[in-house]
Amino acid sequence: MDAMAHVNNTVYLRYFEESRVSWSLSNGMATQADGTGLILAKTSVTFRKPVTYPANVIVELFAGRVGGASFNMLNTLTVEGDSEPSATGESVMVCYDFVQGKALRVPDKLRAILEGRSA
Protein backbone atom coordinates (compact mmCIF):
# COMPACT_ATOMS: atom_id res chain seq x y z
CA MET A 1 0.00 0.00 0.00
CA ASP A 2 1.13 3.53 -0.61
CA ALA A 3 0.79 6.65 1.55
CA MET A 4 -2.81 7.13 0.33
CA ALA A 5 -3.85 3.62 1.53
CA HIS A 6 -4.04 2.33 -2.04
CA VAL A 7 -2.36 -0.75 -3.43
CA ASN A 8 1.01 0.53 -4.65
CA ASN A 9 1.34 1.02 -8.42
CA THR A 10 4.23 -1.43 -8.66
CA VAL A 11 2.02 -4.22 -7.33
CA TYR A 12 -0.15 -4.06 -10.45
CA LEU A 13 2.92 -4.91 -12.52
CA ARG A 14 3.56 -7.92 -10.26
CA TYR A 15 -0.03 -9.11 -10.69
CA PHE A 16 0.33 -8.84 -14.46
CA GLU A 17 3.72 -10.58 -14.36
CA GLU A 18 2.23 -13.47 -12.39
CA SER A 19 -0.49 -13.91 -15.01
CA ARG A 20 2.10 -14.00 -17.82
CA VAL A 21 4.37 -16.44 -15.99
CA SER A 22 1.45 -18.75 -15.16
CA TRP A 23 0.23 -18.61 -18.77
CA SER A 24 3.75 -19.24 -20.12
CA LEU A 25 4.29 -22.25 -17.89
CA SER A 26 0.87 -23.73 -18.66
CA ASN A 27 1.62 -23.43 -22.39
CA GLY A 28 5.13 -24.91 -22.23
CA MET A 29 6.89 -21.60 -22.83
CA ALA A 30 9.37 -21.61 -19.96
CA THR A 31 13.01 -21.53 -21.01
CA GLN A 32 13.42 -24.65 -23.11
CA ALA A 33 16.28 -27.14 -23.01
CA ASP A 34 17.41 -25.73 -26.36
CA GLY A 35 17.90 -22.30 -24.75
CA THR A 36 14.83 -20.55 -26.13
CA GLY A 37 12.11 -18.75 -24.24
CA LEU A 38 10.32 -15.45 -23.79
CA ILE A 39 11.58 -12.07 -22.64
CA LEU A 40 9.63 -8.98 -21.68
CA ALA A 41 10.47 -6.11 -24.02
CA LYS A 42 7.97 -3.50 -22.84
CA THR A 43 5.13 -3.12 -20.39
CA SER A 44 2.63 -0.41 -19.51
CA VAL A 45 -0.24 0.07 -17.08
CA THR A 46 -3.22 2.39 -17.30
CA PHE A 47 -4.55 3.08 -13.82
CA ARG A 48 -8.29 3.71 -13.91
CA LYS A 49 -9.22 3.79 -10.22
CA PRO A 50 -7.45 2.88 -6.98
CA VAL A 51 -7.60 -0.50 -5.31
CA THR A 52 -7.83 -0.21 -1.54
CA TYR A 53 -7.12 -2.84 1.07
CA PRO A 54 -8.76 -5.26 1.64
CA ALA A 55 -9.81 -6.38 -1.82
CA ASN A 56 -9.88 -9.52 -3.91
CA VAL A 57 -8.70 -8.83 -7.43
CA ILE A 58 -9.32 -10.72 -10.63
CA VAL A 59 -6.49 -10.55 -13.17
CA GLU A 60 -7.28 -11.59 -16.72
CA LEU A 61 -4.82 -12.11 -19.56
CA PHE A 62 -5.57 -11.97 -23.29
CA ALA A 63 -3.51 -12.32 -26.44
CA GLY A 64 -3.13 -9.22 -28.58
CA ARG A 65 -1.19 -8.54 -31.77
CA VAL A 66 1.05 -11.35 -32.98
CA GLY A 67 4.04 -10.29 -35.07
CA GLY A 68 7.08 -12.02 -36.49
CA ALA A 69 9.19 -12.39 -33.33
CA SER A 70 6.98 -10.69 -30.76
CA PHE A 71 3.43 -10.60 -29.48
CA ASN A 72 1.34 -8.47 -27.15
CA MET A 73 -0.38 -9.64 -23.97
CA LEU A 74 -3.25 -7.59 -22.57
CA ASN A 75 -4.31 -7.56 -18.91
CA THR A 76 -7.25 -6.34 -16.90
CA LEU A 77 -7.31 -6.06 -13.13
CA THR A 78 -10.77 -5.83 -11.60
CA VAL A 79 -11.79 -5.75 -7.94
CA GLU A 80 -14.15 -8.64 -7.29
CA GLY A 81 -17.71 -7.33 -7.54
CA ASP A 82 -16.81 -4.28 -9.67
CA SER A 83 -18.09 -4.03 -13.23
CA GLU A 84 -15.14 -2.02 -14.58
CA PRO A 85 -11.41 -2.73 -14.35
CA SER A 86 -9.27 -0.78 -11.91
CA ALA A 87 -6.33 -1.08 -14.32
CA THR A 88 -5.41 -2.39 -17.74
CA GLY A 89 -1.99 -3.38 -18.99
CA GLU A 90 -0.13 -4.25 -22.14
CA SER A 91 3.13 -6.15 -22.51
CA VAL A 92 5.30 -6.92 -25.51
CA MET A 93 6.86 -10.37 -25.32
CA VAL A 94 9.73 -11.46 -27.57
CA CYS A 95 10.62 -15.05 -28.46
CA TYR A 96 14.32 -15.25 -27.70
CA ASP A 97 17.25 -17.56 -28.33
CA PHE A 98 19.42 -17.25 -25.22
CA VAL A 99 22.29 -19.22 -26.80
CA GLN A 100 22.47 -17.03 -29.92
CA GLY A 101 21.50 -13.86 -28.05
CA LYS A 102 18.83 -12.82 -30.54
CA ALA A 103 15.10 -12.78 -31.22
CA LEU A 104 13.53 -15.65 -33.11
CA ARG A 105 10.23 -16.11 -34.92
CA VAL A 106 7.15 -16.94 -32.88
CA PRO A 107 6.99 -20.75 -33.08
CA ASP A 108 4.00 -22.12 -35.02
CA LYS A 109 2.58 -23.88 -31.94
CA LEU A 110 2.68 -20.68 -29.89
CA ARG A 111 1.30 -18.63 -32.78
CA ALA A 112 -1.67 -21.04 -33.02
CA ILE A 113 -2.35 -20.68 -29.28
CA LEU A 114 -2.16 -16.89 -29.45
CA GLU A 115 -4.44 -16.76 -32.46
CA GLY A 116 -6.97 -19.06 -30.78
CA ARG A 117 -6.42 -21.92 -33.22
CA SER A 118 -5.08 -24.40 -30.65
CA ALA A 119 -5.32 -25.11 -26.95
pLDDT digits (tens, 9 = 90+) for 64-81: 999 999 999 999 999 999
Distances (CA, A) of 29 to 38, 80, 117: 7, 29, 17
Longest CA–CA span in the chain (Å) reads: 47
- pLDDT for 33 equals 72
| pLDDT, tens only, 92-112 | 999 999 999 999 999 999 999
- pLDDT for 31 equals 66
Q: What are phi and psi of 80, to 5 degrees?
A: -50, 130
- pLDDT for 6 equals 86
| pLDDT, tens only, 27-64 | 877 767 788 889 999 999 999 999 998 889 999 999 99
Does 9-114 carry CATH code 3.40.1410.10?
Answer: no
Distances (CA, A) of 3 to 9, 33, 39, 52, 86: 11, 45, 32, 11, 18
> Domain ranges in the chain?
9-114
